């Protein structure tokens, strides 16, 4: 679910749509578009790489520490 591909081209819209769809499946009844927007908003110096089981945590790759962070 990374927002850039290997060539560095941004695919943010595709990522947003896929994330919103998955959030709707996992957390039916929530405003999945707004939730997806909020998850992508926290991408300063890190990349969203996925969501945890049952979409309760977002998993980011933090570039500075080269580590995964679950929020």
Per-residue DSSP letter, 54: G
pLDDT in tens, the chain (71 residues): 555 555 545 577 888 888 899 899 988 877 899 988 888 887 778 888 888 888 888 899 998 899 999 98
Q: Which residues pair with 50 in a beta bridge?
A: 59
User: pTM to 2 decimals?
Assistant: 0.68
Per-residue DSSP letter, 18: H
Instruction: Say how far apart CA 38 and CA 36 lie, in whole Å.
Output: 5
Nearest 5°: phi and psi at 49?
Answer: -110, -15
Instruction: Say how far apart CA 13 and CA 15 lie, in whole Å.
Output: 5
């Amino acid at each position: 679910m990374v927002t850039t591909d290997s060539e560095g081209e941004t695919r943010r819209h595709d990522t947003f749509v896929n994330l919103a769809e998955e959030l709707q499946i996992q957390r039916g009844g929530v405003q999945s578009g707004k939730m997806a927007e909020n998850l992508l908003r926290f991408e300063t110096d890190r990349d969203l790489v996925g969501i945890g089981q049952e979409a309760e945590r977002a998993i980011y790759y933090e570039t500075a520490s080269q580590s995964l962070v679950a929020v």
